[in-house]
Amino acid sequence: RTPRSSIPQLVQITGEQMRCVARSAAAGTQRLRLARGPHLTGPRPIPRNMASQLRLNATNAPEGLSDGCKGAPVQPGAKLPLVGDESIMSKKAHGTTAQPVQENLRWNCDWKTADKICCFNRHYAEFAGYWTSTTFLQEEKGKEVTFYDSVTGRPLFIAPRGRTWEEFEAESRSHGWPSFRDEEVVWDDVRVLPDGESVSLAGTHLGHNLPDKKGNRYCINLVSVAGRPQ
């Protein structure tokens, strides 16, 4: 029997990532927040014609990054998320931030990838499942973790809160990136732009808000929140 990983015409994709593809297609975009590889959890094969399109889209992303889902526009009158304006992401000394990301990021996160995503990027993402390839789970499993801005070292998220570690991990694995809820956001330094992009007040690109039936869900690159406290 031929192993699934050796079948070239199939790409493995999680159910949540498939829903992401559907949302992007419905919006008339070809932006896909996914990755290819054996690290994905709960894989399912998809048809060759769709696999070809996914591979084509992947080649449009900068080297080392994956294409991203389009965030959900913020609904008028919503109490959360706190909405920021485009000026937060204005050009600064180092892309959208005043300085590069920290040199010694936590969990062995890759510095080059982090600097690209945090400071010179508004849409692209680390590959789905990247966070599970770091030492994050080995070091933090079962704990309440504070996630710091990879540029400034300011706290941005504290998780899990209002749910168990198992629920936090399962949701993050299902989607492919660390996923946070409203009560896990440190709103002193996090804003969501009207188009759904999640950023820090320092201009660090974090990810996007992709709400589901439970409410807001902030899908965040681990490399963006792997800083050390300053």
What pLDDT digit, counting tens, does each position of 173-186 carry? 999 999 999 999 99
Closest by Cα among 42, 41, 43 to 11 = 43
Q: What is the pLDDT of residues 99-151, one digit of tens each?
A: 999 999 999 999 999 999 999 999 999 999 999 999 999 999 999 999 999 99
173: tokens are 């694995």
Type of residue at 78:
A
Q: 171: exposed, middle or buried (C-beta count within 10 Å: 0-12, 13-18, 19+)?
A: buried
Q: What is the pLDDT of residue 68?
A: 65
pLDDT digits (tens, 9 = 90+) for 14-42: 555 555 544 444 433 333 333 333 333 44
Environment class of 186 (CB within 10 Å of its CB; exposed 0-12, middle 13-18, buried 19+): middle
pTM of the shown model? 0.76
Distance of alpha carbon 214 from alpha carbon 142, whole angstroms: 22
From residue 108, give the alpha-carbon distance in Å to each of 144, 151, 177.
19, 15, 16
The whole-angstrom separation of Cα 147 and Cα 197 is 18
What is the percent of the chain where pLDDT is above 90? Answer: 66
Residue 136 Ramachandran class (φ > 0 left, ψ -120 to 50 alpha, else beta): alpha
Q: Check: CB of residue 35 under 8 Å from CB of residue 128.
A: yes
- Write phi, then psi, for 92 (nearest 5 degrees): -130, -165
